[in-house]
Amino acid sequence: MPHRFGAVVIGAGSFGAWTARELRRRGLAVTLLDAYGPGNSRSSSGGESRIIRMGYGPDDIYTRWAMRDLELWRELFAQTGQPLFHRTGVLWFARTQAQDPYNSASLDAFRRLSVPHQTLTAADLKRLYPQIALDERITWALLEPESGVLMARRAVAAVVERAIREGVEYRCSKVAPTSGEGRLEAVLTPGGDSISAETFVFCCGPWLGKVFPELLGDRIFPTRQEVFFFGLPPGDQRLGPPALPTWIDLGEEAYGMPDLEGRGLKARGPSIRGSTVSRSPRRPGPGGAGLPVRKHLQRRLPARPPPHPSQRLARRRRLRPRVQAWTLGR
Ligand SMILES: Cc1cc2nc3c(=O)[nH]c(=O)nc-3n(C[C@H](O)[C@H](O)[C@H](O)COP(=O)(O)OP(=O)(O)OC[C@H]3O[C@@H](n4cnc5c(N)ncnc54)[C@H](O)[C@@H]3O)c2cc1C
C-alpha cells in the first residue's frame, strides 16, 4: 500500500533527527526513516562523544551555526532532564599568526560574533594546566569556556525520542528514491513499500553518494577517522574535567577529550579515505593506527611521576588503546 506524508526525512543521524523535529514543529506530518537506527554505530553521529566548538577560522557561518546548535542542544537537555552535554571548555593550542592563521581568524570571529573566549599566553597555560607539556612552537592558546562535548549517540537518540513524542513517525527501514526523471514522488523500501510525500529530505551523511550515485557519486568522499580511548592511572584526576579541557592542536592534526563518564582519555587518529582500507579491526601494535596517537599523548600529557622500570610493562598495558566501533562496513 502506498503511504503519503507531508515530509519524509531519510537518515536519523544528527542532521536528520533535528530536521524531522523542526519540520514537525512547523506543522508538517513527518516520517523519519533510518536503515539501522538513530545514532547507529555505522553513522557519523554514532559513537561516544563529539566536540561542540565555536572556532571555525574565517568561516563565520559555521561559528553562527555552532552557537545556535549549542543553544538547541541545551534547550533539549533542559526539557528531557538528560545531562548529555559536558561543558569541558575547548582549548586551541596556537602558534604565531604566520604559522597559525586559523586560530587568529577564529579569534577575530569570536570578537565579531561575541563568542565567550579567553586568550592565554604560554605562561598562563603552564600555570592553569601543569599536566600539559608545551613545546616552544605553542606561543598562545584560545579557550572557549562555554563549549565542550556532546554524548553523541545518546544525544541523537534523545532528539528522536522527543520528535516521536511531538508527533513524528519513526521507522527503521532502508529506502531508495524511485528512479525516473523530474520531481521525486516516492521512496521505496526493500520490501517494495512505496512512501510518497510532498517533501523529501535526504540526510544520509556519508551514504549520500550511494543514494544519488549519478549526482553525487564523484563529489562525496567519506573519510574514516579512528578514535582511541586510553585508560588512566587509578585515581588520576589530572586528565578529567575540570582539570583538563577538551583540546585541539591543528599544528599536529590532533585533538582529545578529558576522561568523561569514566571512558578514558579520547584522542583521534589520522583520517583515512574510507574506501581504501579494510574495516576489520586492526591490531594496535607497532605501525598500527594507535601508535602516533599514543606518541602524541605521551609527549603532550606525560605521566606524573616517571615510572619505576618494573612498572613500565604494566603501564604500557594500561595505555594500550581500544579501537572504538568504527569497523562496521557502510
Ligand atoms: C570519528 C568522527 C569524529 C567526529 N568528531 C566530530 C566532532 O568532534 N565535532 C563535530 O562537530 N563533528 C565531528 N564529526 C562530524 C559529525 O559527527 C558529522 O558531521 C555528523 O554526525 C553528521 O551527521 P549526519 O546526520 O549528516 O550523518 P550520519 O550521522 O552518518 O547519519 C546518516 C544516517 O543516514 C542513514 N541512512 C543512510 N542511507 C540510508 C538509506 N538509504 N535509507 C535509510 N537510512 C539511511 C544512516 O543509517 C545514518 O544513520 C566527527 C565525525 C567522525 C566520523
51 lines ligand 1 (CB under 6 A): yes
How do residues 121-157 score in pLDDT, each as one tens digit? 999 999 999 999 998 899 999 999 999 999 999 999 9
Q: Please tell me the residue having the least CA distance from ligand 1 atom 19.
A: 44
Q: What is the pTM of this model?
A: 0.88
Q: Give the residue carrying C-alpha cell 579515505.
A: 273
d(CA 197, CA 185): 7
Return mean pLDDT, the chain. Answer: 88
CA 233 to ligand 1 centroid distance, Å: 32
Read off the pLDDT of residues 163-182 as tens digits, 9 standing for 90 and up: 999 999 999 999 999 877 78
Residues 42-92 have pLDDT tens digits of 999 999 999 999 999 999 999 999 999 999 999 999 999 999 999 999 999
Q: What per-residue confidence (pLDDT) applies to 306?
A: 45
Does the pLDDT at position 327 exceed 50?
no
Side by side, the strands of the sheet bearing 90-94 are: 118-121, 140-144, 90-94, 246-249, 254-257, 265-273, 223-230, 322-323
- Would strands 30-34 and 118-121 be described as parallel, antiparallel, or unpaired? unpaired
Q: Which of 72, 160, 207, 223 to mutate to test the pocket of ligand 1 (most atoms within 8 A of CB)?
A: 207
Report the SS3 class of residue 100. Answer: coil
Question: Residue 74 has which C-alpha cell?
Answer: 541545551
CA dihedral 173, 178, 182, 186 (to 10 degrees): -50
Ligand 1 atom at shortest distance from the alpha carbon of 176: 41
Q: Choose the weakest-confidence range: 33-42, 160-169, 202-211, 310-319.
A: 310-319
Residue 249 neighbours by CB distance under 10 Å: 18
For each of the domains in the chain, give its residue range(s) and CATH number, in order of start.
Answer: 3-47+153-216 (3.50.50.60), 63-150+222-323 (3.30.9.10)
Q: Counting Cβ atoms within 10 Å, is residue 303 exposed (0-12), middle (13-18) or buried (19+)?
A: middle
Range 37-42 average pLDDT: 96
pLDDT score at 311: 54
CB crowding 67-97: b at 16 or more within 10 Å, else e:
bebbeebeebbeeeeeebbbbbbbbbbbbee
Whole-number Å distance, alpha carbon 43 to ligand 1 midpoint, is 5
